[in-house]
Structure 1
């Protein structure tokens, strides 16, 4: 189990819509990962199961999309992931030891957006 390294991706426009399924397809194409995940694909997510890293289902909390040919963190994607960490949409099944690191990773993007993470309020 692993929390991805913080990539400090540039932010997309704050009003950019978030469609996780469409972002997933664009990220796979951008990363040349249609046949299987790779490190570029991993960078768009906050967490992955390192023991199963060759399976797309091992990757959780997608926060990035490809905008103008570049991988960017999408504020609404970050907010969606933050809400999931707070239990929205049924929450996410992560090892307890990774939760604080995932929240720390997401909190860095919240700070970059000029906001505080929901668990910091």
Structure 2
């Protein structure tokens, strides 16, 4: 996990993750590992991957707490929310909640 105070820039992180994962033309398993959810029916499309929560730090893929917080806000409807199947949301929230716990916070939906 990256330091809690590490800045988060999702667009820049996505570029670094693609380069780190060697996912130039299409997503792969390493690229998938940086996200919380993806649409298995469109796994060859970058837009099928949602909730990027990791960045490349010192050559390693690390979860960024501010990325988790950003994803948590989106789950709660910030920035217009996210278009994923409603039945998938409990799994996404549970996954994010584990990271909130790791950096000593509580997920917004659990407060």
Same fold by TM (over 0.5)? yes
Aligned residues: 111
Q: 1:32 aligns with which of 8, 11, 22?
A: 22
Unaligned runs of 5+ in 1: 1-10
TM-score of the two chains, using structure 2 as the length reference: 0.99
Counterpart in 1 of 2:61? 71
Is the counterpart of residue 97 in structure 1 residue 84 in structure 2? Answer: no
Structure 1 residue 68 displacement after superposition: 0.3
TM-score of the two chains, using structure 1 as the length reference: 0.91
Provide Cα deviations, 1:77-121, integer angstroms capped at 9, x if missing partner.
000000000000000011011000000000000000011100000
Unaligned runs of 5+ in 2: none
Q: Which has the higher helix share?
A: 2
